[in-house]
Amino acid sequence: MCQESLKSRIKSKDGHLSNRQAKELLKQLASPRLRCLYLAHLSQTNNQRELALAAAEKGLAERGLGGVEIRFAEQDRVSEGFSL
C-alpha cells in the first residue's frame, strides 16, 4: 500500500513521469536507430503495464517508428539482456 507522502509526490507536477509525458518524450526524442526500449520504474500499484505499453507504442508510432521491441524492466529480478 502507498504511503501518503508517496501519493502526494506522485500527484505533484515534479514527482512523477506520467504515461502521457513518456509518450511525448518518445515522440520528440526517439531515434530511427532505436531497436529496443525498456519501460522502467513502473509502480506495482499506481500504473498498469498495459497503459504504459500503449502510451509507448503510440509515442513511437507518432514519431513514425515501427519495429521497436518494448520490454519491461522488472522490480524483483534482473532484466533480460540485449545486444548492441
- Mind listing the pLDDT tens digit for each residue in 16-74? 778 999 999 999 999 999 999 999 878 777 788 999 999 999 999 999 999 999 999 88
Encode burial over 3-30: b for 16+ CB neighbours within 10 A, e otherwise.
eeeeeeeeeeeeeeeebeeebeebbeeb
- CA–CA separation, 20 and 25 (whole Å): 9
What pLDDT shows up at residue 17? Answer: 79
The domains of the chain are located at 18-72
Q: Is the pTM of the predicted complex or chain greater than 0.85?
A: no
Written as one letter, the residue type at 75 is Q
Of residues 81 and 33, more confidence is placed in 33
Of residues 80 and 23, more confidence is placed in 23
